[in-house]
Amino acid sequence: PAAAPRRRRRSQGGGPVKTLLPPPPPMIIAVVLALGLALLPAAEGKLQTGPLRIAGPKKDNQWKYVSKFGYGLGTGNFQMRVKLQSPKTIAAEAKLNFEVFLDEDWVEVEAMEDVCRRGARARQRREIVVNPSGEWGEWVNGSLGQSVRPHIWYFALSDCNASLQNFTHRLRFEFHATQESGSEFSIEMKGMLTANIIFLAGFSFFIWVFSKHTMHFSRSAGAVHPVIWTLSVAMIVQYVAQVFHSIHLMRYYYDGYGVKALEVLSEILFMLAQVTQTSLLILIALGYTLLQSRIGELDLMIPMCFMVGVIHIMLVGFGKIKDDAAYKYHENEGVVGWILLVMRILLYVWFLWAVQSSAAEGGNRLRNFLRQFRAAGSAYFLAYPGLFLFTKCFAPYWQHAVMSIGLMCMQMGSNLWLASLFLTRGEYFKVSTLSSSDLPGGTKIGLVKEE
């Protein structure tokens, strides 16, 4: 007679993890942040500081964009000052033109090839003094009012009067701006702190519920499957990113500057979480847990996903260099946003091909599940491209809110879907290795029969 099947535990690839997930962080973080928000005093204003190269023989160096700020209804204020960085001193004080442009004129202003003609379109012009000793100059103050709708105002510095000597000077500037109410948030950031705190509180509750369901699943199945662990890691990374971003916004509320390191880290972590979830969906589409219980030859996915993650991190870094660019109204604006859109479309095409390949190898039940999986996965992959293009239908001062809230909803929606997919006994559970058992004729996750 044929030898009875025997089982052996695989040491690598797709095997279960016997330990339970640790308890999630409670909602204390969200509560502390909310209480901190109530206790923090308001900032003096948005603080934008940085280097600026101006003057010299190059025509383009005679006029430089400095910053922008969106004002709501009422009368807001701004102030600016500069100091020399290189050279350290000059023979006599120089007077530069500080020019203010309305958003309705800005496209035409940037289109002017002769930069010294741009000042004619300025709604306000002021002189700003460069201290010859290398110390900070006096603050130049002004106010801007609007009564019909919010506007984004653009600020620039000009040396078209050749007040500085004919070589490039490096200056450092400080720019402050406030709303009529004293708020330091530009109009496109209005309500973002509250929205992020609410989202963080809801995410904290979701993490707690997810942990409870995962522990219950582990007790009933005897193990936590690697796909659940992968989803858990992605969500924890998202959670940490959300905490960092909320802390940055709260600090910004306090000093008008925020914690740039936490802002950059939060963007990187958000990207890594999205790459992890995207890779997990493609891996399942290729047949992991559906046609095979371990990764096997699909381990080629790991270096490819690593490369995708590195590219995303590089894009975040490039985007932060252009953080206050005149054209940038949200984090994914400009070239970075378009590259991300193209990458998401390419990953979506890969996902569709993977689903089709797996469906061709499976039975009717698997094909039925893959049709549902393809529909839900399509919604996930196309959410960012759709949101990116949809955001452009709004006025610039609305785009940041639309994109930010849209991304938060997209992240939470994908978490809810994947958690439901992995932790409930639905179609995926029935057609995947998650439903394997110790009963005669069955194969438990991480176990394989041998003749």
Query: Which has more pLDDT, 185 or 139?
Result: 139
**Average pLDDT over every residue of 109-113:** 86
69-91 residues labelled b (16+ CB within 10 A) or e (exposed): bbbbeeebbbbbbbebeeeeebe
In this structure, are residues 206 and 412 in contact, taking their beta carbons and an 8 Å threshold? yes
Residue 8 pLDDT more than 50? no
Residue 425: the pLDDT is: 77
Report the C-alpha gap between 335 and 267 in whole angstroms. 16
pLDDT in tens, 267-318: 889 888 988 899 889 988 888 877 765 555 566 667 777 788 888 888 777 7
DSSP letters for 105-173: HHHHHHH-SSGGGGGGG-SEEEEEEE-TTSS----EEEEEEESSS-EEEEEEEE-TT--S-SS-EEEEE
Give me the residues paired with residue 130 across strands. Answer: 94
pLDDT in tens, 246-275: 888 887 776 666 777 888 888 889 888 988
Q: Show Cβ contacts of residue 124 under 8 Å, excluding neighbours closer than 6 positions.
A: 99, 100, 142, 144
**Average pLDDT over every residue of 210-234:** 82
In this structure, are residues 211 and 23 in contact, taking their beta carbons and an 8 Å threshold? yes
Residue 445 pLDDT more than 50? no
The one-letter amino acid code at 198 reads: I
Query: Which has more pLDDT, 71 or 439?
Result: 71
Residue 257: the pLDDT is: 67
Residue 447: the pLDDT is: 34
Burial class (CB in 10 A: 0-12, 13-18, 19+), 375: exposed
Residue 9: the pLDDT is: 41
Phi and psi at residue 436, in whole multiples of 5°? Answer: -65, 155
Other Cβ atoms within 10 Å of 263 Cβ, number: 20
pLDDT in tens, 132-141: 888 888 898 9
**Average pLDDT over every residue of 19-24:** 45
Residue 348 pLDDT more than 90? yes
Contacts within 8 Å (CB) and 24+ apart, 115-120 = 115/59, 115/60, 115/62, 115/63, 115/158, 115/160, 116/59, 116/62, 116/63, 116/158, 116/160, 118/63, 118/156, 118/158, 119/63, 119/158, 119/160
Residue 24: the pLDDT is: 46
pLDDT in tens, 223-237: 778 888 888 999 999
Residue 381: the pLDDT is: 92
The one-letter amino acid code at 20 reads: L
**Average pLDDT over every residue of 2-11:** 41
Tokens at 423, concatenated: 């932790």
Give me the residues paired with residue 50 across strands. Answer: 173
Residue 378 pLDDT more than 70? yes
What is the chain's alpha carbon radius of gyration, rounded to the nearest angstrom? 28
Element (H, E) at 83: strand 74-86
Report the C-alpha gap between 295 and 286 in whole angstroms. 10
Mean pLDDT of the chain: 78
379-392 residues labelled b (16+ CB within 10 A) or e (exposed): ebbebbbebbeebe
Residue 345 pLDDT more than 90? yes
Residue 43: the pLDDT is: 40
Across 191-205, 274-288, 307-321, 357-371, least confident range: 307-321
**Residue carrying the six token digits 């510095």:** 157
Residue 352: the pLDDT is: 92
Residue 221: the pLDDT is: 66
Residue 157 pLDDT more than 80? yes
Residue 321: the pLDDT is: 66
Residue 324: the pLDDT is: 63
Q: Give the 3-state secondary structure of residue 326.
A: coil
In this structure, are residues 125 and 100 in contact, taking their beta carbons and an 8 Å threshold? yes
**Average pLDDT over every residue of 193-214:** 88
Q: What angle do CA 283, 284, 287 make, to 5 degrees?
A: 95
Residue 326: the pLDDT is: 62
Q: Show Cβ contacts of residue 109 under 8 Å, excluding neighbours closer than 6 positions.
A: 101, 118, 121, 154
Among the listed residues 331, 323, 450, 447, the one whose alpha carbon sits nearest the alpha carbon of residue 11: 447
Residue 362: the pLDDT is: 75
pLDDT in tens, 30-58: 555 544 554 444 444 456 777 888 887 78
Residue 435: the pLDDT is: 64
What pTM value is reported for the model? 0.70
Q: Which of 1-10, 22-31, 182-191 has the highest mean pLDDT?
A: 182-191
Query: Which has more pLDDT, 431 or 414?
Result: 414
Residue 375 pLDDT more than 70? yes
> How far does Cα 1 stand from its chain's mean position?
62
Residue 336: the pLDDT is: 81
Tokens at 139, concatenated: 């603050």
* % of residues, the chain, pLDDT over 90: 8
Query: Which has more pLDDT, 328 or 427?
Result: 427
Among the listed residues 162, 155, 242, 249, the one whose alpha carbon sits nearest the alpha carbon of residue 200: 242
Residue 295: the pLDDT is: 57
Report the C-alpha gap between 135 and 374 in whole angstroms. 62
**Average pLDDT over every residue of 321-328:** 64
Residue 170 pLDDT more than 80? yes
Element (H, E) at 97: strand 94-102
